[in-house]
């Protein structure tokens, strides 16, 4: 839950109809399905985030008016509340046939069409001659094909494969950034100084910026003079432009698998999964900076590097475009014992690799310098990439206890990737203090700091802690008369009481701050908590 006043709120209206038609004895049995869906969404975005302003300090010492080092070195604030409506029309249609060619072979054929229309006002965007000519991607046709074939008459061995193209929905909360951070606005998020921290406090001098000189107190009089409330002005903060060529991201997905029954109640599964995500959103900075030196406080000069802006802007100007990609490959293995002789179990293992240059629709390439996007450094593992995942689940009924049972779930995951950086230096002088540190092994010096972390010098080139959790349930199921049952159970989560930490938060990946560098502060969401237990009773009638 957010502690700040913000939206969004949305209203959704949908019309949908599906039709099925089974046709036997036409060179095999056919199960036809057709359908369409129309969805209208109206999204209201309201934001008052940072209207009270944020002061950024170079130290955690208490403020002392006589000590220049305790003064803030930068100040940011939203100049007014943001309020916006955006509409989205999505149209979907599909047709498919599940064809039972022979008793041992089934072929699935299908096609789908997706059309997404998001009306946008492109006023002020130099890339649009007509501000009403917002982009619409109309050629999103996605074929699907699947095959299953039993290798023997008994059906003990089965091969399966499938291929399809899948189009993603555009997230309105990402696309509408081109409206919230437009060229002209009454709600800009501005920085003082504009492009870099005031060099005074870190050098033991008083800051010279008027919003910092009097200490951490917001100068509302000066702010209202520069940005009169409710008056649209050119955005002095970050600007985001939509692209005339914006398209819906899509993915090629291919799977191939083999299933073998190796005993009466025991089966082995092996599947290969390949995904190739293309046309993913990755924003490019059209107004990059060149810093005078590699220091974090050095002056910046903004450049219209691609020659499309035609005028000066004070901060970054991002273009929302489809230049991103990512690849995913996985081998999934499973051994499944179906319920018999009072117990069942399943062991599954995944060996996977996911890497690319984009993963979220609001991603921005911050490693670029002028027109060079530096994709060699930006290419790396996806943030959710975990090479090894092992899961074990089992359940047993205890004989001669009239309903007592035990079950367990055990899960292991190798560490997730993250980037180690040093904001004390701007290596490529592009004005972004996120450059990765050199290749090497790094250790934190503070309490709970990670030790001997290997880093390859690129985005997401380090690995966080691994994850292990075992959960256990003990229960008793007692049948009563007239279909009534009584159930008692005791659940113990994380029975080994292992602390499953998530990767260091963004600030704790910064080598410039030894007191927090590589310090683990938060547990893995939804499953990293200390040992917990709960007991329950359920009466069914």
Per-residue pLDDT tens for 464-492?
999 999 999 999 988 888 788 999 999 99
Apex 355 CA angle, 379 and 334, nearest 5: 165
Q: Over the chain, what is the mean pLDDT?
A: 95
Q: What pLDDT is stored for residue 172 in this prediction?
A: 82
Q: Would you place residue 193 in the very low, low, confident or very high pLDDT band (cuts 50, 70, 90)?
A: very high
Apex 42 CA angle, 38 and 44, nearest 5: 160
Residue 2 is assigned to a structural domain of this protein: no
Q: E strand or H helix at 177, and its extent?
A: helix 177-180
Q: What pLDDT is stored for residue 488 in this prediction?
A: 94
Residue 92 is assigned to a structural domain of this protein: yes
296: left (phi over 0), alpha (psi -120 to 50) or beta: alpha
Residue 231 is assigned to a structural domain of this protein: yes
Q: What pLDDT is stored for residue 45 in this prediction?
A: 85
Residue-wise pLDDT tens digits, 207-251: 999 999 999 999 999 999 999 999 999 999 999 999 999 999 999
Percent of the chain's residues with pLDDT above 70: 98
Percent of the chain's residues with pLDDT above 90: 88
Q: What pLDDT is stored for residue 173 in this prediction?
A: 78
Residue 1 is assigned to a structural domain of this protein: no
Residue 482 is assigned to a structural domain of this protein: yes
| pLDDT for 176 beyond 90 | no
Residue-wise pLDDT tens digits, 409-454: 999 999 999 999 999 999 999 999 999 999 999 999 999 999 999 9
Residue 362 is assigned to a structural domain of this protein: yes
More reliable by pLDDT, 98 or 525: 98
Q: What pLDDT is stored for residue 4 in this prediction?
A: 62
Weakest-pLDDT range from 7-11, 58-62, 254-258: 7-11
Contacts 24+ apart (CB under 8 A), 406-411: 406/472, 406/473, 406/474, 406/475, 407/472, 407/473, 407/475, 408/470, 408/471, 408/472, 408/473, 409/470, 409/471, 410/468, 410/469, 410/470, 410/471, 411/467, 411/468, 411/469, 411/470, 411/527
Q: What pLDDT is stored for residue 10 in this prediction?
A: 86
**How far apart are the C-alpha atoms of 449 and 443, rounded to whole Å?**
7
Question: What are the C-alpha distances in Å from 253 to residues 94, 109, 337?
Answer: 18, 15, 29
Residue-wise pLDDT tens digits, 106-165: 999 999 999 999 999 999 999 999 999 999 999 999 999 999 999 999 989 999 999 999
9-23/233-234 β-pairing: unpaired
**How far apart are the C-alpha atoms of 248 and 421, rounded to whole Å?**
32
Q: Are 166 and 251 in contact (CB under 8 A)?
A: yes
- Closest by alpha carbon to 496, among 421, 417, 416, 409? 409
pTM exceeding 0.95: no
Residue-wise pLDDT tens digits, 284-320: 999 999 999 999 999 999 999 999 999 999 999 999 9
Q: What are phi and psi of 34, to 5 degrees?
A: -135, 155
**Which residues, at least 6 apart from 407, have a Cβ–Cβ distance to it below 8 Å?**
393, 394, 395, 396, 472, 473, 475
Count of domains in the chain?
Answer: 1
Q: What pLDDT is stored for residue 483 in this prediction?
A: 82
Q: Are 521 and 499 in contact (CB under 8 A)?
A: no
Residue 4 is assigned to a structural domain of this protein: no
Residue-wise pLDDT tens digits, 33-52: 999 999 999 988 888 999 99
Q: What pLDDT is stored for residue 533 in this prediction?
A: 96
The domain that contains 61 carries what CATH number?
Answer: 2.40.170
Q: Are 412 and 466 in contact (CB under 8 A)?
A: yes
| pLDDT for 5 beyond 70 | no
How many residues are recorded in the chain? Answer: 541
Q: Would you place residue 25 in the very low, low, confident or very high pLDDT band (cuts 50, 70, 90)?
A: confident
Residue 401 is assigned to a structural domain of this protein: yes
Q: Are 435 and 410 in contact (CB under 8 A)?
A: no
Q: For the CA atoms of 146, 152, 155, 158, what is the dihedral angle to 10 degrees? A: -40
| pLDDT for 1 beyond 50 | no
Q: What is the domain extent for residue 142?
A: 9-540
Q: What pLDDT is stored for residue 463 in this prediction?
A: 98
**How far apart are the C-alpha atoms of 319 and 246, rounded to whole Å?**
10
Instruction: State the chain's maximal CA–CA distance in angstroms.
Output: 92
Average pLDDT over residues 18-42: 95
């Amino acid at each position: 839950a957010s502690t700040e006043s913000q939206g969004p709120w949305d209203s959704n209206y949908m019309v949908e109809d599906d039709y099925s038609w089974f046709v036997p004895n036409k060179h095999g049995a056919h199960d036809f399905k057709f359908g369409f869906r129309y969805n209208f969404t109206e999204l209201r975005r309201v934001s008052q985030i940072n209207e009270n302003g944020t002061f950024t300090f170079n130290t955690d010492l208490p403020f002392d008016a006589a000590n220049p080092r305790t003064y803030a070195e930068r100040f940011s604030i939203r100049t007014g509340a943001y309020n916006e409506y955006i509409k989205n029309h999505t149209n979907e249609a599909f047709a498919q046939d599940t064809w039972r060619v022979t008793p041992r072979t089934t072929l699935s054929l299908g096609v789908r069409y997706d059309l997404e229309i998001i009306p946008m006002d492109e006023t002020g965007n130099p890339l649009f001659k007509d501000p009403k000519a917002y982009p619409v991607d109309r050629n999103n046709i996605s074929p699907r094909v699947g095959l299953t074939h039993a290798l023997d008459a008994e059906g003990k061995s089965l091969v399966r494969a499938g291929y399809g193209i899948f189009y993603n929905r555009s997230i309105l909360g990402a696309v509408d950034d081109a409206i919230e951070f437009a060229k002209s606005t009454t709600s800009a998020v501005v920085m003082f100084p504009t492009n870099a921290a005031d060099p005074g406090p870190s050098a033991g001098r008083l800051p010279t910026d008027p919003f910092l000189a009097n200490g951490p107190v917001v100068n509302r009089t000066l702010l209202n003079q520069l940005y009169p409330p409710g008056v649209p002005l050119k955005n002095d903060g970050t600007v985001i432009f939509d692209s005339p060529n914006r398209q819906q991201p899509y993915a090629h997905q291919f799977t191939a698998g083999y299933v073998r029954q190796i005993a009466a109640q025991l089966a082995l599964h092996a599947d290969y999964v390949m995904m190739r995500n293309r046309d993913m959103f990755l924003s490019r900075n059209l107004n990059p900076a060149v810093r005078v030196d590699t220091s974090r406080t050095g002056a910046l000069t903004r450049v219209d590097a691609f020659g499309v802006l035609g005028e000066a802007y004070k901060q970054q100007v991002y273009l929302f475009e489809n230049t991103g990609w990512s690849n995913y490959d996985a081998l999934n293995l499973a051994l499944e014992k179906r319920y018999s002789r009072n117990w069942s179990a399943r062991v599954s293992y995944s060996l996977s690799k996911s890497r690319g240059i984009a993963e979220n629709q609001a991603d921005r390439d911050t490693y670029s310098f002028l027109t060079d996007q530096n994709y060699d450094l930006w290419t790396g593992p996806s943030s959710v990439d975990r090479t090894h995942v092992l899961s074990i689940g089992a359940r047993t009924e205890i004989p001669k206890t009239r309903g007592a049972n035990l079950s367990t779930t055990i899960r292991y995951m190798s560490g997730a990737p993250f980037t180690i950086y040093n904001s004390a230096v701007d290596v490529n002088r592009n004005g972004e203090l996120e450059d990765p540190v050199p290749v090497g092994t790094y250790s934190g010096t503070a309490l709970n700091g990670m030790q001997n972390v290997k880093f390859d010098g690129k985005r997401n080139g380090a690995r966080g802690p691994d994850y292990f959790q075992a959960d256990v349930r003990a229960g008793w199921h007692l049948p009563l008369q007239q279909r009534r049952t009584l159930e008692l159970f005791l659940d113990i989560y994380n029975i080994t009481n292992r602390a499953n930490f998530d990767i260091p938060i963004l600030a704790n990946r910064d080598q410039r701050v030894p007191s927090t560098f590589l310090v683990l502060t938060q547990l893995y969401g939804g499953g990293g908590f200390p040992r917990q237990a709960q007991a329950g009773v359920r009466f069914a009638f």
